[in-house]
Structure 1
Amino acid sequence: MDLLTPGLGLIFWQLVGFLGLLFLLGKFAWKPILGALKEREQSIESALASAESAKLEMQQLKADNEKLLDEARAERDKILHQAKEAAKAIEEEAQANASKRADKIISDAEASIETKKAAALADIKNQVADLSLQITEKLLRQKLASDQEQRALVEEYLKDVKVN
């Protein structure tokens, strides 16, 4: 059993070594270890605060990005709306111009037709007058071939003139 129970001298020297080690550790190692732990704790707290700050900043940036995206979408929609209105205005103006041009072409064509119609009617009247004169001349030549017939016609015309 001697092996299981240590001697009193061994316990005393182990206790003296342990207390010496405890004194040396307390004097030289404990303060730097506690300082390092405190410094580590502070750096961890600082890192956590930085992470929280970065998280808040990221949320703010995300909100700003969403706001910018919304503004960009609104601007895009506004530009598209303006472009559609401009295209519609241009289309309406083009249709109005085309309608005006078509009306002008139609009125010019109608005026040209009226002019040509008047010219054709004048030409027909002239031809009818010429034909009438030619027919009258031929009839009078046949009818008034003799002097007696000519005198009778002149007297008849004179009677008509006196009556009027």
Structure 2
Amino acid sequence: MDQLLNDFSPGLFFMQAIILLILIVLMRKFAWKPILESLQTREDGIKNALDSAEKARLEMQNLQADNKKLLNEARAEREAMLKEAREMKDKMIESAKTEAETQANSIIEQAHAAIESEKKAAIAELKSHVAGLSIEIAEKVLREELSDNSKQQKLVDSLIGEATLN
């Protein structure tokens, strides 16, 4: 350290101080402004990039909210369509049941009517057949009874006795 103090020259010191000041002024005038301008440009670019990123983030949030809204609307619409389809299915089933029941009742009524008409026809045929048989039997009995004159006379007398005259 002593050697530094012995080698110290005030003239050299002032000369170096003046050169340093001139260098600082030159640097300030020619180098400092471009450096500060480039730093300012870079800072503005970073700020713009951050603003763009924030806008993009907000836009993305809006898009996500819109997507959720659209998704919810689509789900609601799907549920409404499914509900409507179920209601239509139930109505169609109910309509088919009602129609089938109506047709079944109609067929049953027709069957009852057909059975009744067949029954009446069978009864009429049976009556006709029984009447024919009765006439045949009566005819045979009368032939047998009326073949003898004394039997004929007895029958006429009994019929006259039963008949009352007014």
Query: Unpaired segments of 5 or more residues in structure 1?
Result: none
Query: 1-side partners of 2:43 and 2:93: how far apart?
Result: 73
Query: Unpaired segments of 5 or more residues in structure 2?
Result: none
Deviations 1:50-106 (A, max 9, x none): 222222222222221121122112111111111111111001001001101111111
Deviations 1:21-61 (A, max 9, x none): 32332121111111111111212222222222222222222
2:42 to 31, 34, 40: 40
Query: 2-side partners of 1:120 and 1:11: how far apart?
Result: 153
* TM-aligned CA deviation for residue 20 of structure 1: 3.7
Match of 2:91 in 1: 89
Helix, strand or coil at the partner of 1:137: helix
Match of 2:120 in 1: 118
1:31 to 30, 33, 36: 33
Task: Tell me which amino acid in the other structure corresponds to 2:97.
Answer: Q
Query: 1-side partners of 2:21 and 2:116: how far apart?
Result: 135
1:60 to 41, 59, 62: 62
Query: 1-side partners of 2:43 and 2:80: how far apart?
Result: 54
RMSD (Å), alpha carbons:
2.5
Q: Percent identity?
A: 47
Query: 2-side partners of 1:104 and 1:162: how far apart?
Result: 57
Task: Tell me which amino acid in the other structure corresponds to 1:100.
Answer: T
Matched residue pairs, number? 164
Match of 1:50 in 2: 52
Task: Tell me which amino acid in the other structure corresponds to 2:47.
Answer: E
Helix, strand or coil at the partner of 1:37: helix
Query: 2-side partners of 1:26 and 1:80: how far apart?
Result: 77
Helix, strand or coil at the partner of 2:57: helix
Query: 1-side partners of 2:12 and 2:113: how far apart?
Result: 140
Task: Tell me which amino acid in the other structure corresponds to 1:116.
Answer: E
Task: Tell me which amino acid in the other structure corresponds to 2:96.
Answer: A
Query: 2-side partners of 1:30 and 1:69: how far apart?
Result: 57
Query: 1-side partners of 2:15 and 2:149: how far apart?
Result: 191
**Would the alpha carbon gap of residues 159 and 42 (structure 1) be closer, same or farther in structure 2, given more than 3 Å must change?**
same
